[in-house]
Structure 1
Amino acid sequence: MAVERWTGARSAPFAPGYEPTLAFGAYLDLLGAQEKGQALSPSLVPFTVLFGFIGSIIVGRITLRHRLNARFDRVGGHIGYSVLPEYRKRGVARSMLTQTLPRARALGLGRVLLTCDDDNIGSYKVIERCGGVLENKIEVDTDFGPRLKRRYWIAL
């Protein structure tokens, strides 16, 4: 798989902070620093990035934010994930989320917030199957116009 595919997502990059000119080892170092709260832009919080694999191919990414700020409390939440289109509907997102929840608990979180577009049936079904309880739906402004977002909490 060409790593360049990671940078093509519309609203959130598949590999946050990755640039094609960056050596993969340097990218992993950057992720390690961000996990410790270093090298972050002011709008971010410390986070852990994990990748989903099928064999040796990276097919998904999940981000675990260690806490919420005003931005992520509204949209984004503690956990966000993405699966490459050709690997969707294979249980990858559910597997990644299931494996990430114990990590969130280990950070001391008692519950986690996840959000998704209201019309993203696949995403909200994953969240619900992993114990997500819908709190509300809110309208947010995006680069693509107003979008209705679902906000779910999962108790840990």
Structure 2
Amino acid sequence: MALPALTLRPPGPGDEAEFRAAHEVMAREGIVFGLGLDGLDWPGYLRRLAEVEAGARLDGFVPATFLVAEAGGVIVGRTSIRHELNATLAVLGGHIGYCVLPARRGRGHAKEILRQSLPVARARGVTRALLTCDETNTASQKVIEHCGGVLESSDGHNRRYWIG
């Protein structure tokens, strides 16, 4: 049976409960699902995402587009598409950071999230996208390579790939 189509979209007013639940699940793995969520009410968080995308009030962030990945009406993951790099992101983080909820892994969602993130990055001026992953994260390595990532380097802890 085919999986429901995956779509990327901005989080909206009706997503709070599901989004916060995803944030808590990912926190148990040491992964931040809702970047900048802690300490903000939901309307404030949505405003903050719009500001960061517009390049306003960055407070150490770079302009970025944050989207949830939805399949079958359920949030299954997210992507953060950075429009540019700073010194930190040039080493670790790169242009695109994505994650899939543990219960939704192994279904091709990560590949589809990255595949759909690349044209969004291009539309924001990213002609070559840097992606990084942990040396031990073989699943992410396979996703990046499947989507055209070419390994630039590995320092024994992190791998750096370029797509484009």
Is TM (by shorter chain) over 0.5?
yes
Are the aligned partners of 2:19 and 2:75 in contact in 1 as well (CA < 8 Å)?
Answer: no
Cα offsets for 1:103-123 (capped at 9, x unmatched): 111122211000000110110
1:62 aligned onto 2:79 = yes
Cα offsets for 1:94-144 (capped at 9, x unmatched): 1111111111111222110000001101101000000000000025xxxxx
1:29 aligned onto 2:47 = yes
Choose between structure 1 and 2: higher strand proportion: 1
Cα offsets for 1:7-45 (capped at 9, x unmatched): 42554410111137612x332221111111123222x21
Give the partner amino acid of 1:15.
G
Query: What number of residue pairs does the alignment pair up?
Result: 145
Q: Specify which of 148, 152, 155 is matched with residue 161 of structure 2.
A: 152
Question: Percent of counterpart pairs with the same letter?
Answer: 46
- Ranges in structure 2 where 5+ consecutive residues have no aligned partner: 1-17
The runs of at least 4 aligned residues of structure 1 exceeding 4 Å deviation read none
Distance, in Å, in 2 between the alignment partners of 1:11 and 1:33 is 26
TM-score by structure 2 length? 0.81
Are the aligned partners of 1:136 and 1:152 in contact in 2 as well (CA < 8 Å)?
Answer: yes
Report 1:121-136 matches (<5 A).
121-136=138-153
Distance, in Å, in 2 between the alignment partners of 1:18 and 1:41 is 14
TM-score by structure 1 length? 0.85
- Ranges in structure 1 where 5+ consecutive residues have no aligned partner: 140-147
Choose between structure 1 and 2: higher helix proportion: 2
